[in-house]
Amino acid sequence: MKIAFEPVESIEQSVDAAGVRRAVFGTEWALDRTLDPETHSSPGGVIARVLPSGDPIATVSVLDTTGEPALGRTYGLSFSRTDRVVRYTHMAVLDAYRGLNLPLYMLLEARRLCVVPRDFEYTWLLFPRHRAAASLYHTLLSFTAGPEIVESEQGPSCVLSRDEKSHEAEWADAQAASFLARTLPGDIEFVRVGAAFPHEDADDLPCTCQREPSFALVGDDEWVAQ
């Protein structure tokens, strides 16, 4: 089975991504809320499809939150009004495709397709507070947990953020790609726009992260549901 990742750029892709969110948040979670935020300027997001059918199976939204004081007050964000900032949100994976680390693949692709080309400086997301320190977003992708505790649909949460211009972010993504390649089931292949997904050997990568990596999964594919 092949799973392909692509940026959400067209109306058709947006409709497919919304369908995945409705299946997860509406049908499965029965959340009574708007799933398609219209109050942000968005550079898009990423959608995953199973090949050869092309059926959408997972998605994440990437929202431009540059210079939004209301968000700063709500979540205790420390970004300045001039910092170029995006938020990862509305992560949804269909039930049949969980356990494949799709959220991590999608964040790697979101950075490559949406964050870096548009010269954003910081990324952030909400994550359950009690799981943040052990999550792969922190231990593998080097996101840092903020001190503020906020209420969300997943209970008490905190902001995880990352400086996308830092050397640590580059190496964290390279090591994440290596980890994902090593743990990929043999009957599945992930492909990205324009090329196969990289399969670097982690032993060849000098680690510049200060944390000791911990690669244990933390429940439900590490969803970023907020």
CA–CA distance, 163 with 182 (Å, rounded to integer):
26
Contact (Cβ atoms closer than 8 angstroms) between residue 163 and residue 175:
no
- pLDDT of 145 strictly over 70: yes
Q: Give the chain's domains with CATH numbers.
A: 2-222 (3.40.630.30)
pLDDT band at 223 (very low <50, low <70, confident <90, very high): low
Res. 210: pLDDT tops 50: no
Which of 83-92, 125-134, 178-187 tops mean pLDDT? Answer: 83-92
Burial (0-12, 13-18, 19+ Cβ within 10 Å), 187 = exposed
In this prediction the pTM is 0.82
Q: Are 77 and 159 in contact (CB under 8 A)?
A: yes
Q: What is the mean pLDDT of residues 132-138?
A: 88
Where does the chain have alpha helices with state H?
A: 11-21, 69-75, 102-110, 129-132, 136-139, 167-183
Could you give the count of Cα atoms lying within 13 Å of 56 in the half-sphere of its Cβ? 23
Q: List all residues 6 or more positions away from 176 whose beta carbon is below 8 Å from its beta carbon.
A: 104, 108, 136, 140, 141
Per-residue confidence (pLDDT) for residue 152, from 0 to 100? 73
Q: How many CA atoms lie within 13 A of 170 on its CB side?
A: 6
At residue 38, the pLDDT reads: 44
CA distances from 100 to 151, 181, 185, 201, 225 (A): 28, 11, 8, 19, 17
pLDDT at 219 over 90: no
The pLDDT score that the predictor gives to residue 94 is 92
Please give the backbone phi and psi of residue 104, each rounded to the nearest 5 degrees, phi first: -70, -40
**pLDDT above 80 for 217:** no
Query: Quick one: average pLDDT of 16-33?
Result: 80
Q: What is the reported pLDDT for 195?
A: 55
Instruction: Report the mean per-residue pLDDT for the chain.
Output: 80
Mean pLDDT of 3-32: 86
Q: Is a pLDDT exceeding 60 seen at residue 114?
A: yes
